């Protein structure tokens, strides 16, 4: 990766809750290269969605303290950019799609209106051109009979079709980066496969970078080239996708991979990760995974571990494991 398209440095996001302030994202750093597909995987409360929303400054202002850290994009820091410039980037150079395609579309506007809105806002095109472009875009996201569908209302479309429309809106201004937050979670398996195929094709055709956020290791394996695993607000491991699946470093990644129900083999009993996902407001000293970790050591409960290099392009937040790996390589 020469010069990354987007670089996030030490991003920290804090929320106000009933029980006081809670850290949803704790000093997260990441980089996305041009045309790269980065996957962020984690369970609920891992901070993966908040990280994505904060890149576009879409967090709820009322309950969130201004995120700290830096988000470098095109020589600018997105966190300190004036609101007007931020609006230009949002939906223009960086676009986002969400899990629920129904609530993301306005039920009283036609598809043409909603795609056209983005074009008129960012490119200032007139209505007729916007409509023509809308049809082209629907075609691009493989919606059959685009010229007719463009005048329909969202409720007439199936879930898969709505997600395609959302993707059409997102790519309307040819973004350099697409952030997809659980884009297939609400969809059926066969439709999920269609959407993943579409996203991959579009990424190639338009040369976009994509950040894909998901809880599904299968989706990650299929789509991403590099993975970042998050747990309780922190990055616990980053690695090229093949290496992570073949040899996870962090015990959480390992536990997660073995706990997934297997489709291709019969397993008598699935190995489990003990305990529950910690309450987001809970204070856990040391490594946040230590209460559940099967290989926990005394130091894990005491010292907050750093993200350490664990091979080329790899990092993991588990000093004992990283040390063990280093010893192996020497031997």
Partner 1 sequence: MAEATILASGEAIAARRRFRVLRKLLHHRSFMAGFIIVAVMVIAALCAPLTGVDPNQMRVRLRFRPPSEVNWFGTDQFGRDLFTRTLYGAQLSLWIGLAVAVLSGVVGAAIGVLSAQFRRLDSLLMRIMDALMAAPAILLAIGLGAALGPQTHSVIIALAVAYIPRTARIVRASALVTRELEFIEAARVSGASSMRIMFKHLLPNASGPLLVQSTFVFAFAILAEAALSFIGIGPPPPAPSWGNIIAEGRQFAVQSWWIMLFPGFAISLAALGMNLLGDGLRDVLDPRLKVES
Partner 2 sequence: MSAALKTDTADAPIIQVRDLVKEFNVTRGRGGPPAILRAVNHISFDIRSGTTLGLVGESGSGKSTTGRLLVGLIPATSGEISLFGETITGADGEAALAKVRSKLQFVFQDPHGSLNPRMRVGDCIAEPIDIAGGWSRKDRADRVSELLETVGLPRAVAERFPHEFSGGQRQRIGIARALALRPDFVVCDEPVSALDVSMQAQIINLLLDLQERLGLSYLFIAHDLAVVRSIATDVAVMYAGALVEQAPKTVLYSAPKHPYTQALLDAVPRPDPDRVRSAALGGEVPSILNPLPGCAFAARCPHVMAVCRQDRPAPRPTGEGHVVACHLY
Choose the binding region for partner 1 from 17-25, 180-188, 198-206, 303-311 (rule: CB under 8 A). Answer: 17-25
Q: Any contact of residue 276 with partner 1 (CB under 8 A)?
A: yes
Sequence-separated contacts (24+) of 289-297 with Cβ below 8 Å: 289/231, 289/232, 289/236, 289/250, 289/251, 289/252, 292/252, 292/255, 293/251, 293/252, 294/251, 294/255, 295/251, 295/320, 295/321
Nearer to partner 1, 2 or 274 (CB): 274
Half-sphere exposure of 87 (CA within 13 A, CB side): 7
Nearer to partner 1, 45 or 91 (CB): 45
221 to 240: interface string for partner 2, x by CB under 8 A: xx------------------
Q: Any contact of residue 242 with partner 2 (CB under 8 A)?
A: yes
Nearer to partner 2, 123 or 258 (CB): 258
Q: Any contact of residue 44 with partner 1 (CB under 8 A)?
A: no
Integer-rounded Cα radius of gyration of the chain: 21
From CA 61, how far away is CA 75, in angstroms rounded? 25
Q: Any contact of residue 266 with partner 1 (CB under 8 A)?
A: no
First to last CA, the chain: 30
Q: Any contact of residue 261 with partner 2 (CB under 8 A)?
A: yes
Choose the binding region for partner 1 from 177-185, 242-250, 263-271, 279-287 (rule: CB under 8 A). Answer: 279-287
Task: Please give the residues from 158 up to 177 whose contact with partner 2 meets the rule CB under 8 A.
Answer: 158-161
Half-sphere exposure of 48 (CA within 13 A, CB side): 25
CB 217 within 8 A of CB 291: no
Q: Any contact of residue 282 with partner 1 (CB under 8 A)?
A: yes
Q: Any contact of residue 291 with partner 1 (CB under 8 A)?
A: yes
From CA 297, how far away is CA 127, in angstroms rounded? 64
Choose the binding region for partner 2 from 16-24, 148-156, 169-177, 272-280 (rule: CB under 8 A). Answer: 272-280
Which residues contact partner 2 (rule: CB under 8 A)?
A: 43-44, 158-161, 188-194, 196-197, 215-222, 241-242, 245, 255-257, 259-264, 266-267, 269-273, 276-277, 279
- Residues that bind partner 1 in the complex, under the rule CB under 8 A: 17-19, 272, 274-276, 278-279, 281-282, 291-292
């Amino acid at each position: 990766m020469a010069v990354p398209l987007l670089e996030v440095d030490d991003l920290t996001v804090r929320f106000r809750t009933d029980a006081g302030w809670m850290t949803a994202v704790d000093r997260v750093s990441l980089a996305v290269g041009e045309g790269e597909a980065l996957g962020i995987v984690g369970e609920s409360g891992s901070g993966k969605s908040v990280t994505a929303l904060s890149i576009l400054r879409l967090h709820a202002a009322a309950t969130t303290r201004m995120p700290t850290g830096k988000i470098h994009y095109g020589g600018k820091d997105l966190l300190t950019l004036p609101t007007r410039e931020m609006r230009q980037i949002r939906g223009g150079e960086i676009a986002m799609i969400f899990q629920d395609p129904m609530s993301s579309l306005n039920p009283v506007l036609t598809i043409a209106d909603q795609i056209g809105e983005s074009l008129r806002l960012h490119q200032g095109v007139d209505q007729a051109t916007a409509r023509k472009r809308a049809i082209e875009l629907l075609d691009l996201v493989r919606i059959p009979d685009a010229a007719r569908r463009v005048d329909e209302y969202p409720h007439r479309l199936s879930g898969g079709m709505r997600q395609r429309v959302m993707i059409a809106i997102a790519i309307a201004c040819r973004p350099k980066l697409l952030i997809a937050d659980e884009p297939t979670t609400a969809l059926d398996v066969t439709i999920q496969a269609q959407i993943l195929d579409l996203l991959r094709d579009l990424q190639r055709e338009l040369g976009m970078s994509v950040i894909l956020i998901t809880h599904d290791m299968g989706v990650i394996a299929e789509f991403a080239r590099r993975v970042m695993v998050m747990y309780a607000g922190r990055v616990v491991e980053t690695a090229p996708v093949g290496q992570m699946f073949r040899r996870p470093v962090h015990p959480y990644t390992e536990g997660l991979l073995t706990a997934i129900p297997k489709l291709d083999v019969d397993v008598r009993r699935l190995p489990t990760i003990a305990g529950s996902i910690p309450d987001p407001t809970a204070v856990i000293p040391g490594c946040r995974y230590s209460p559940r970790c099967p290989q926990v050591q005394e130091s894990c409960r005491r010292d907050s571990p750093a993200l350490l290099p664990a091979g080329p392009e790899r990092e993991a937040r588990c000093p004992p494991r990283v040390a063990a790996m280093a010893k192996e390589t020497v031997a």
